[in-house]
Structures are given as structure tokens and as C-alpha cells.
Structure 1
Amino acid sequence: MSITLPGPTLGVVGGGQLGRMLGEAAAPLGVELVVLDPTPDCPATPVVSDQIVADFDDPEGVRELASRVDALTFEIELADPDLLADVSAEYDLPVHPDPDTLRTIQDKLVQNEALADAGIAVPDFVPVATADGLERVAEEFGGVMLKAREGGYDGRGNAPVEGPEDAADALDAVGGDAMAERFVDFEREIAVMGVRGADGETRTYPVTETLHREEILRESVAPARTGDSVVAEAEAVARDVLDTLDGRGVYGIELFETRDGEVLVNEIAPRPHNSGHWTIEGARTSQFENHVRAVLGWPLGPTDLVAPAVTANVLGDVDETQPATLRGVDQVLAAPDADLHWYGKDNVRPLRKMGHLTVTAGDGAGGDGDNVDRDALLSQARTLRDGLTFRDS
């Protein structure tokens, strides 16, 4: 392949914060983005060439997008894999990751079955469709996490079931067919951002520790505060996942580290992921730049750690939806090792992801993280993040 600049135009189904950061990464490469999103003036619009206002699965809108670009990808699992496959054939257009992979990921039961069939460890799971069935499973497993088979992501569509008495309410909460997973007694949650490029080349970013509360990712610590054997196992599992799924691009692979040191796959996102936002400052090539490179079939950038990093999400701390004005920004901008990312959303609502900040280790920290106090980095990130507010007073 002979690459020249200006580069091609990349179409993205979805124009939220991930589309925004893809646009920021694509511009220095000479790549223009056109996004499709149902929200007028979506977060990506300030940094991309154009937006098509249409639903993620709108046939007319997706075909218009396909007619204007040289390659197509998506930043949200609500894209329609059948429609993407159709436009790929109609317009002779590369679509990555492969629509079949999106189809697999969209159904959590199908996803787990595919992983288990490939010999990749996942928590014990069973499909459930009735309260009676869920009661029996919850009693047998001693408690389960109920997950909606379709439509849930980033913690949405999940409900814990500690005993049979919780079954009916949990099934109502997730709605429709669901999958029950045995509760995992985990030491920590970790993640690996993996990327597949042209000719099957794969690379992984350093293993990241992810800290959740109320099913929402609050902070990420890279490298993870865990042992070498767990790191090696997590990297191996991530490569097995990349070998199992089809199509180029970045994959967010969320994992459990059990108290016995075993690594289990929790969920997979066939796109850049919140767990990898630290790579913008902390890695040689960000997950967003590597996704652009991979989808276009360009050489992948190195995924090496530049400096240990902690990312803290900026969430809506309001009681009800209101126009978004973030206060307390001065202290973040004054911190020498902190970087702030604003997602450009007009309205804030309770716990909505509005941005993030990343604190990196200072000069001379080294690229392996072994000699860096990541607890101190996490504390600094939390202090800076907790000083931000959308409240009037």
C-alpha cells in the first residue's frame, strides 16, 4: 500500500464522545471524518468534516454515509450489522470491524457462546426468559448478574440477583430475554485494549485496572496494580479474543481477575472504549489513532506505555437534566501533569459521562510503571475530578 496525504475519508456510525476523539486523532493523519448520529450538532461535529443526522440504523442515512466515504466503521453497538453488510456489498466499501463481529457482540448470550466455543474462559452462564427460570438459576448459582441479551452496554441492562426473591424485579428491569452469569468473586476488574490491523497483525496495550461504582466506570489505572502472572494471562486472553473475532480495529476487552488469579472475559466492545482513554496521553499511539489506522488498513502505531496514567471520568453530579456548565476547571488546567477532555454535550443529567481527565507520571517516571506510585496518581486524579461540578453552588 502506498499512502499519500491528504488521506481518505472515514465514515463513522455514531458521533458521540468516541466519534469526537476519533476525529481529533484522525486530523493529524490527514484523514477526514463524516459521522452519522441522530442528535443534531452531536459532540463530534466541532472536529469532523460533516454530520448526517439520522438514526444509527436508518437505511437512507447509512447509504448516504457510505456514498461519501472510503471506509466505514462504528463507535456504538446500536449500529445495524445487516445494514452495514448490505452497504459494504453495494458500495464495495470496507467496513470494520466486520458486521458479523458486531452481530455477535450485540447479543451477550451469543458472545459468551462464541468465546466458550473458542476455549476462552468466561463466567458460568445460562439463558433465562422467565422469573421461574431465573429463580432456579439464582438458587443454583448462589446469586447471578442478570444481563439483557441485547441493547445493554457500559453497565446498562444489568441487574444483580442475590437470591430467588429478586428474580421477578430484575427480569422486569432488564426486559425481554436475558442471560444470567454466576457472580464472580473477583480481586479486581481489568481491561486490555487490543487492535487488529492489516494482514492479521495484532497488538495490545498495557493491562489496565478499571474501577467501577454503580455499574459505571469511574477510574482507570495503567498499568494495572496486579502481578506479572495476571498481566501475562490477560494479554494472552486478549490475543485469543482478537483471533476469535473478525475485522480490523480496536477492541475493548473487559476482564475479571478472580481471587485465584484466573482471568475471565466479562464483555467485549468492538470499538475504542472508556477503559482506553488513558492512551491519549499515556501510550505512544492512542487507541483512537490506531483504530483509524487499522480500519484504513494502514500500519499500526506502537502501543507501548509512555508514562503510567490514571483517568477519572467526569460524570453528571446533578439531580435532574440541565444545561451543562462545568465549574472548577481552573485547578485541573493548573495541574502540570493533568489533561482535561470535554465531550461537548449540551445537557448534563445524573451520572452522564461528560468528559474525563488524565493524570500522568512526571518526567523521568519510566515506561514500565514499576517505580511509580499509582496509588498517588489515582488519589490526585480523584481530587482533581471531585473538584469539578455542574452544580450552581
Structure 2
Amino acid sequence: MSITLPGPTLGVVGGGQLGRMLAEAASPLGVELIVLDPTPDPPAAPVVRDTIVADFDDPEGIDALAERVDALTFEIELADPDLLAEAAAKHDIPVHPDPDTLRTIQDKLVQKEALAEAGIPVPEFVGVATAEGLERVAEEFGGVMLKAREGGYDGRGNVPVEEPTDAADALAEVGGHAMAERLIPFERELAVMGVRGANGETRTYPVTETLHREEILRESMTPARAADPVVAEAESIARDVLEQLDGRGVFGIELFETPDGDILVNEIAPRPHNSGHWTIEGAATSQFENHARAVLGWPLGPTDLRTPAVTANVLGDVDEPRPATLRGVETVLDAPDADLHWYGKDEARPLRKMGHLTVTGDEGPQNGGDREALLAHARELRDALTFRE
């Protein structure tokens, strides 16, 4: 392959923070982005060439995007796989990851069935559509996590059901057709960012430990605080997952480590993921740069760890929506080992992801690469930030 600069233009369905960080990573490569988003001024707007304002399932909008770019991708699972495939074929451009992969992953039940059929270890699961059926499953499994089959993210669409009597309310909350998954008493949650490049090349980033509260990712820590055999198994299973996926790009693979040290696949995201934001400072090549490289068919960058890293999400600490003004920023800027990422959202909402900060272990004598110290330091810096007056 002969690559020249300026590079191609990449079309992205979705203009949120992932699109913003993808544009920031692609720019040094000579690659510009055009994004499609229903919001007139989405977070990606300040750093991309142009924004097409249209719904994710708008045929005319998708066609207009494809007409202006050299390749298509997406940063949100709400993208329509059929429209992406049709627009790519019409304009004779590649679209990655493959729309069939997106179609499979969009439906959590279909996703789990595909993984199980391929021999990938997953928690026990079953599709449910009635309260009576959910009651039986909850009783049989001794409690389940009920998941909306489509549309859930950041913990939305997930409802724990520990008692059969809670079934009807839980099913109504997720909107009917759902998947019930046996509740897993996991030791910790892990994630592996994997990338598929041209000619089937695959690479994985170091295993990350993800720390959630109220179903929302609060912090991630790399390397994970897991035993070497567990890390090796997580990496191996992540590579097995990548072999089951079609198309190029970055995939976020979320995992459970059980108390016995086994690894189970929780969910897959066919795009850069919050669990991989640490790669901007902590890896040789960020997940965003590698996503652009992969989609374009360019050589992948190395995924090696440069330095231990902890990322803390900056969430809306408000009770009601309000204009987004983040205070206490100087605390983070004064820290020599911290990097702040602002997502450019105009409105702070309760628990809405507004940005993140990453603390790395190569600066600051108080850290020295100690993950526990890095985690405490990241939390301290994050907790000094507020949207309250």
C-alpha cells in the first residue's frame, strides 16, 4: 500500500466525545473527519471539517455523508447497518467495522448467542419477553441482570432482578423484549481493547481493570490488578473474540473475572470505548489513532503499554440539568502527572459523562507507577472538579 498526505477523509456516524477524540487523533496523520449527528453542535464539531445534521437512521443524511468521504465508520451503536452498507456500496467506499458485525452486536441476545455458538465463555443467559418467563428464569438462576436487547448503554437498559416478584416492573423498565443473564459474583471487571487491521491482523492492548458504581464506569486502571494467569486468559479470550468479528477497527471487549479466576465475556462495543481512553497517554498508539488506521487499511500502530495509567471519568455532579461550567480545573492543571480531556458538552446532567482525566506513573514522585497510588491520586483530582456553584 502506498500512503500519501494529505490523507483521506473519514466519515463518522456520531459526533459525540468519541468522534471528537477520533478527530484529534486522526489530524496528525493528515486525516480529516466529517461527522453525522442529530445535534446541530455536537462535541466533535469544533475539531472536524464539517457536521451533517441528521438522524442516525436518516437515509439522505447517510448518503450525503458517504458522498463526501473516502471511508465510513461509526462511534455509536445506533448507526443503521443497512444504510451504512447501502451507502458504502453506492459510493464504492469501505465501511468498517462490517455492518454485519454491528447488526449482531446491536442486539445483546443475538450477540451472546453468537459468542456462545463460537465457544466463547459467557454467563448463562436466556431471552425473555413476558413477566412470567422472567419470574421463572430469576428463580432458576437465583437472580439475573435483565438487559434491554437494543439501545442500552452506560448502564441504561440494565436492571438487576434478585426476586421473581420484581419481574414485571423490571421488564416494563427495559421495554419488553430483553435478555436475562445470571448474576455473576465477579471478583473484578476487566476490559481489553482489541483492534483488527488489514489482512486479518489483530492486536490487543494491555488488560484494563474497570471500576463501576451505579452501573456507570467511574475509573479504569491499567495494568489490571489481576494475577498473571488471569491476565493471560483475558488476553487469549479477547483474541478469540476478535477472530469472530468481521471488518476492521477497534473493539471494546468487556469481561468478568470470577472468584475462581475464570474469564467470561460481558459485552462487546464495535468502536473505541471508555475503557480505552487511558491509551491516549498510556499506550504507544491510542485506540483512536488505531481505529482510524484500521478503518483506512493503514498499518496498525503498536499497542504496548508506555506507562501505568488510571483514568477517572468526570460526570455531571448535579441534581438537575444545567449549563456546563466545570470548576476546580486548576487543580488538575497543576498536577504534573495528569491530563484533562473536556468533551465540549453544553449541558451537565446527572451522571452524564462530561470529560475524563488520566494520571500516569512516569511523572510525580508520589506515584512511581504504583497503581493504588495512581488510583487514589486520580480520584482526588477528579473529586476536586464540580459543576455546582
TM-score (norm 2): 0.99
Matched with 2:99 is: 99
State the distance in 1 between where 2:166 and 2:360 align: 43
CA displacement 1:291-322 (0-9 Å, x = unmatched): 00000000000000000000000000001011
Q: Are 1:330 and 2:330 an aligned pair? A: yes
Matched with 1:201 is: 201
Matched with 2:23 is: 23
SS of the equivalent of 1:314 reads: strand
Alignment of 1:77-88 (within 5 A): 77-88=77-88
Deviation of the 1:143 alpha carbon: 0.1
State the distance in 1 between where 2:83 and 2:203 align: 29
Deviating 4+ runs (over 4 angstroms): none
Matched with 1:314 is: 314
State the distance in 2 between where 1:318 and 1:364 align: 32
Instruction: Indicate if the aligned counterparts of 2:20 and 2:43 stay in contact, CA closer than 8 A.
Output: yes
Alignment of 1:125-274 (within 5 A): 125-274=125-274
- Change in CA separation of 1:364 and 1:203 when aligned onto 2, cut-off 3 Å: farther
Matched with 2:379 is: 382
State the distance in 1 between where 2:323 and 2:120 align: 45
SS of the equivalent of 1:186 reads: coil
Counterpart residue identity of residue 379, structure 2: R
SS of the equivalent of 1:41 reads: coil
Deviates more, 1:352-361 or 1:147-156: 147-156
State the distance in 1 between where 2:325 and 2:351 align: 15
Q: Are 1:339 and 2:309 an aligned pair? A: no
Deviation of the 1:364 alpha carbon: 10
Counterpart residue identity of residue 97, structure 2: P
Deviation of the 1:163 alpha carbon: 1.1
Matched with 1:68 is: 68
CA displacement 1:307-348 (0-9 Å, x = unmatched): 000000000000101100000000100000000000000001
Counterpart residue identity of residue 324, structure 1: A
State the distance in 2 between where 1:126 and 1:56 align: 29
CA displacement 1:82-101 (0-9 Å, x = unmatched): 11111121111100000000
Counterpart residue identity of residue 369, structure 2: V
SS of the equivalent of 1:385 reads: helix
SS of the equivalent of 2:326 reads: coil
Counterpart residue identity of residue 213, structure 1: R
Give the total of aligned pairs. 388
State the distance in 2 between where 1:372 and 1:12 align: 36
State the distance in 1 between where 2:80 and 2:156 align: 19
Deviates more, 1:320-329 or 1:355-364: 355-364
Matched with 2:113 is: 113
SS of the equivalent of 2:19 reads: helix
Deviation of the 1:362 alpha carbon: 2.1
Percent identical = 82
State the distance in 2 between where 1:101 and 1:49 align: 28
Deviation of the 1:372 alpha carbon: 3.1
Matched with 2:37 is: 37
Counterpart residue identity of residue 378, structure 1: L
Matched with 2:11 is: 11
Counterpart residue identity of residue 91, structure 1: H
Alignment of 1:367-378 (within 5 A): 372-378=369-375
Counterpart residue identity of residue 98, structure 1: D
Matched with 1:284 is: 284
Matched with 1:48 is: 48
SS of the equivalent of 2:3 reads: coil
Structure 2 runs not aligned, ≥5 long: none
CA displacement 1:155-205 (0-9 Å, x = unmatched): 110000001011111101101200000001100000000000000000000
Structure 1 runs not aligned, ≥5 long: none
State the distance in 1 between where 2:146 and 2:310 align: 30
SS of the equivalent of 1:36 reads: strand
Instruction: Indicate if the aligned counterparts of 2:13 and 2:36 stay in contact, CA closer than 8 A.
Output: yes
- Cα RMSD, aligned residues only: 1.1
State the distance in 1 between where 2:230 and 2:38 align: 41
Counterpart residue identity of residue 390, structure 1: F
CA displacement 1:186-230 (0-9 Å, x = unmatched): 000000000000000000000000000001000000000001101
